[in-house]
Structure 1
Amino acid sequence: MPSTVTTVVVLIGLCLVLRLVSNRFKSGLRDIPGPSLARYTRLWKLHSVWKGDHHVTEIKLHRRYGPLVRIGPNHVSVGDPAAVGVIYGLNQGFTKTAFFPIQSISWEKKPQMNLFSTRDESFHRSQKRLVANAYSMTSLLEMEDSVDSCTGIFMDRLREFCDRKRPLDFGAWLQYYAFDVVGEVTFAKKLGFLEKGRDVDDTMKTIQGILAYASLCGQIPDAHPFLLGNPLFPIFIPSMESWNSVLQFTLKAISSRLALGSDQHEPTADRVEESLGKDMLSRWLALHQSDPDRLSKRDIIVHTSTNVFAGSDTTAIALRAIFYLLMRHPSVMEKVRDEIDTADSQGKLSDPIAYRESVAHFPYLAAVFKEAMRLHPSVGLILERQVPTGGVSILGRHIPGGTVVGINAWVLHRNPEVYPEPDAFIPERWLTSPPAALKAMEQSFFNFGAGSRTCIGKNISLMEMHKIVPQILRHFEVRLHSPAKEWKTRNVWFVQQEGLVCDLLPRTPT
């Protein structure tokens, strides 16, 4: 007779086979095309994400299979702009998936949901209502002088490299700039990246680690409670929370303004009044003082730490893409310089350049921004949503409730029916396309997401782009140090770039 161990192994094997077969022939999804292995197991997508080029893989899959591609037993990638309103529109019933809560800080021994990570739509609405005004362009421009102070330091550091004729890791310095701007708009305090010229407190390294973990564990989110999401870790390893330098960095920045770190040191009305400013922390502290239950200490810490986590990487990715594509396309670079020089010679520009001046006088540069973000969106995976109970029709096909669906910006932005010559860098398409075509392009532009969960910090990125890019090109000629080398990209949820090493030469606008 077979041993008990053998029997158990056989039963486990049979259960596994049944599960794989059940996955393959899942009702409502069995006929959706996609990689064969992906129909059986999530391991296909896990491996694809682990390779770091899943965005490229998805583009190829959609070009082969069409607008609906099955990329997992219960996952469908959608590549048609007609589905944006269905999946991400208001009151459609779709919710975020278990992929997102993984990206939450742990504080006071439990995970703290933020606007990005929460799956609770009512919580998201209530929190967004309280803080959204601080992210409006009107509010941000009230702090433009503070952003200009970051620009001044950045330009001084660039002049040092220029004077010494030394190449620099321009991509890293763009992120240093983005970090310090986030510090100013969030805390009215630079975070020290430009001054020190390095990764302060290993914050960038920590963010890289969090993104890598989230991108992989997010493919099998039910493993998270057994890994870094284990609820026993904060209890038995209290020091675990100190490993997150983003949280520690945020707490340190807050405590340098006010003693907000403990219940014994709640901000008093006098202290809030003393520190009152236009930055986000000041605004939220004032709201906390007027109604602590409405915006708690926890809420302030979560919102500010989210700014530190997400506010620099995505902006730096966009800035790197803009400069890299300009340097790879000299004719476009020349048009941008001519546009800046013309406005400068006519006395239309301040020093540093103001946001409203950039918007008013640089239409071609604005098209460059849009085209660079189209070709290199910051996010490289689908923005997952769970189909509501009862299922929905997507592109004329019924998708069962509980299915995970989503759109990858890299796929949508390379739809040839919307963007002719989709792999080419053509800023002019945003200026010369017929109205109907331009409307279709705008509706398909997915760099900041769509619907109620659109990136709340997009105005911070846009303000930085409009101010720092023309300011640098006004004073420097930026060249790739090794033009024969392509930069390297790696998709760890955000599609990060390496190798943007540049030489700077001084220039005098003509």
Structure 2
Amino acid sequence: MGIQTDSSVIDSFFSLPFPLMIASLLIVGIVSRLLWNRFRKDLRDIPGPKVAAYTGLWRLLDIRTGQAHKNAIKLHKKYVPLVRIGPNHVSITDTRQIDHIYGMKSKYTKGKAEPHVFTMRDPTVHRESKKTLANAYSPTSLLAYELAVDECINLLLYQIEKLASEKKPVDLGAWMSYCTFDVIGQLSFSRMFGFLEKGCDVDKIIETIDIVLTYASHCGQLPELHKFLLGNPLLPGGAMNQVVEFALKSVNKAAGRHTSLRKKGELDALDIESRGDMLTKWYALNQNGSQWMTTKHLVAHLSANVYGGSDTIFIVLRFIFYYLGKNGDKMRKLVDEIDGAAVAVKFSQPVSFKEANTHLPYLNAVIKEDIRIHPSTSLIFERYAVVGINPWVTYFIPERWLDSTEEQLKRMEQSFFNFSAGSSTCLGRHIAMIEMSKMIPELLRRFELTLTYPDREWKTKNVWLVKQEGLICSITKRP
């Protein structure tokens, strides 16, 4: 009798109109998938928002608020130390797990696969590519090109002085971004992009990157949608292509000079090294047939410089000046240190990285503390095996960087995750430290900077990076 009932059910199903049959199958498939997500053996006991265990829609809606970094902190206060934030995603706050997840011998791989080093999944490919790039990002190579950075800082100071003479509030945050973009232009192509000269968003590249980050942070929560959206070869790449075209245009403007690098048909090593910029070094590898620096790699790495070599740095700079403006005692202490060292050491014009790093310990402490409180990146650094750490939620509150014991400093350094960790440590971290160590003391030794609206909170929005609006300053030239 039971068999007859089952047969009748099957017969009834196949007697349904075809569209209704397909709809029924889809519903059954969706429900089955949701239930499998929720009750998968390895994650079902990890606490978190109930809906998040069933579908990535919870993460998407969280990202859409623009405050996912703050929401993550709230979740970890409630569910410390593990929070299940998606069917396949677990956020971790335990800093002891950093090396386990991101270390050189980690079994966890990245969740995305792109041609540039930040998102490569294959460990071997990632390692070889990073070795190819490492020389250009080394402190030695970057400091050999420090005069190019000085050009940008001097132009920034010139523009800020003109604005100060007008005695009007200045959007210092915007000028931070203009300077970092022109610095990465110098380091990558031996030419500024023109942001500082024109005082605007050249080719709307900053706006374009915001669009790309918004898309990536949203679509990244439901990555299966990408192949139907910008990953669809039948659709135009839009904003993503625009960044590549921006990099290509810079490559083309610089490419002509490479004819002068050839002697008897060969690339001249000494000339290449004297140029210093990344395009020249990587172009030489390309011409010498490196499998890790094909034309595709060359364009991808230079585009990644435009993406990642500017936004992350000016975000930190904005936070630093914002919190210095909110904390007058710390601003005064830093200015006093800069003034005292400038007199005693006779700083260069502008101050060199070596001078700042050697004689401005409080500046270094301010940079580290501000990065600790508000890192640029704000979503978890995902790994394919469903785990990740969000740098906004990893940190305990330490003693001041200058007052801590040796053991405390060691723990703090081990927990410092703002440039990622292990094999994925950011190659551009030295660029960031050089820019900040030079730009901050130069601005503060020449100008008095105060927040025009000290009681007004600025706006922040999380689109993978935490973008800010509202660093409006009153600026007076110091005697």
- 1:244 CA drift (Å): 2.6
- 1:406 CA drift (Å): 0.1
Which residue matches 2:394?
412
Q: Secondary structure at the match of 2:119?
A: coil
Which residue matches 1:176?
178
Alignment of 1:146-165 (within 5 A): 146-165=148-167
Structure 2 unmatched ranges of 5 or more: 1-11
Deviations 1:319-355 (A, max 9, x none): 0011111111111101101100111121431111000
Pair 1:340-2:338 in alignment: yes
The equivalent position to 2:408 in structure 1, one of 426, 437, 462, is 437
Which residue matches 1:129?
131
Which residue matches 2:298?
300
Aligned partners of 1:286, 1:16: CA distance in 2, in Å?
52
Which residue matches 1:454?
425
Deviations 1:386-413 (A, max 9, x none): 22xxxxxxxxxxxxxxxx1100000002
Which residue matches 1:140?
142
Q: Secondary structure at the match of 1:322?
A: helix
Alignment of 1:420-499 (within 5 A): 420=398, 429-499=400-470
Aligned partners of 2:116, 2:428: CA distance in 1, in Å?
13
Which residue matches 1:53?
67
Q: Secondary structure at the match of 1:432?
A: coil
The equivalent position to 1:14 in structure 2, one of 18, 28, 42, is 28
Retained in 2: the 8 A contact 1:250–1:308?
Answer: yes
Q: Which amino acid aligns with 2:453?
A: S
Retained in 2: the 8 A contact 1:50–1:216?
Answer: yes
Q: Which amino acid aligns with 1:225?
A: K
Aligned partners of 1:135, 1:358: CA distance in 2, in Å?
20
Q: Which amino acid aligns with 1:28?
A: D
Retained in 1: the 8 A contact 2:184–2:305?
Answer: yes
Which residue matches 2:242?
245
Per the alignment, do residues 12 and 287 of structure 1 end up closer, same or farther by CA in structure 2, a change over 3 Å counting? closer
Aligned partners of 2:302, 2:35: CA distance in 1, in Å?
46
Which residue matches 2:8?
none
Deviations 1:12-49 (A, max 9, x none): 33332222222211102111110011111111111001
Higher helix share: 2
Pair 1:194-2:235 in alignment: no
Aligned partners of 1:291, 1:189: CA distance in 2, in Å?
26
Q: Which amino acid aligns with 1:409?
A: P
Retained in 2: the 8 A contact 1:40–1:73?
Answer: yes
Matched length? 461
Which residue matches 2:317?
319
Aligned partners of 1:221, 1:153: CA distance in 2, in Å?
42
- 1:7 CA drift (Å): 4.4
Aligned partners of 1:304, 1:135: CA distance in 2, in Å?
12
Aligned partners of 1:311, 1:320: CA distance in 2, in Å?
15
Q: Secondary structure at the match of 1:258?
A: helix
Retained in 1: the 8 A contact 2:208–2:239?
Answer: no
Which residue matches 1:364?
362
Aligned partners of 1:150, 1:119: CA distance in 2, in Å?
35
Q: Which amino acid aligns with 1:406?
A: G
Retained in 2: the 8 A contact 1:272–1:282?
Answer: no
Which has the higher mean CA deviation after the structures are superposed, 280-289 or 170-179? 280-289
Q: Secondary structure at the match of 2:402?
A: helix
Retained in 2: the 8 A contact 1:41–1:73?
Answer: yes
Deviations 1:210-260 (A, max 9, x none): 100000110111111111011333xxx5xx478733212211111112159
Q: Which amino acid aligns with 1:15?
A: G
Q: Which amino acid aligns with 2:476?
A: L
Q: Secondary structure at the match of 1:71?
A: strand
Retained in 1: the 8 A contact 2:357–2:364?
Answer: yes
Q: Which amino acid aligns with 2:243?
A: V
Which residue matches 1:118?
120
Pair 1:351-2:353 in alignment: no
Deviations 1:172-200 (A, max 9, x none): 11010000100111111011000000011
- 1:202 CA drift (Å): 1.0
Per the alignment, do residues 257 and 15 of structure 1 end up closer, same or farther by CA in structure 2, a change over 3 Å counting? closer
Retained in 2: the 8 A contact 1:268–1:289?
Answer: no
Aligned partners of 1:302, 1:7: CA distance in 2, in Å?
46
Per the alignment, do residues 351 and 74 of structure 1 end up closer, same or farther by CA in structure 2, a change over 3 Å counting? same
Which residue matches 1:209?
211
Pair 1:96-2:104 in alignment: no
Aligned partners of 1:349, 1:288: CA distance in 2, in Å?
40
Deviations 1:441-474 (A, max 9, x none): 1111111000101111111010000000000000
Which residue matches 1:36?
50
Which residue matches 2:88?
74
TM-score (norm 1): 0.86
Give percent identity, aligned residues only. Answer: 46
Kindly report the root-mean-square deviation, in angstroms, between the aligned alpha carbons of the 2 structures.
Answer: 2.1
Aligned partners of 1:222, 1:353: CA distance in 2, in Å?
49
Aligned partners of 1:222, 1:176: CA distance in 2, in Å?
35
Retained in 1: the 8 A contact 2:208–2:242?
Answer: yes
Aligned partners of 1:123, 1:260: CA distance in 2, in Å?
31
- 1:118 CA drift (Å): 1.6
Retained in 1: the 8 A contact 2:137–2:431?
Answer: yes
Aligned partners of 2:351, 2:253: CA distance in 1, in Å?
31
Q: Which amino acid aligns with 1:354?
A: S
- 1:296 CA drift (Å): 2.3
Alignment of 1:370-389 (within 5 A): 370-387=368-385
Which residue matches 1:291?
289
TM-score (norm 2): 0.92
Q: Which amino acid aligns with 1:248?
A: E
Q: Secondary structure at the match of 2:467?
A: strand
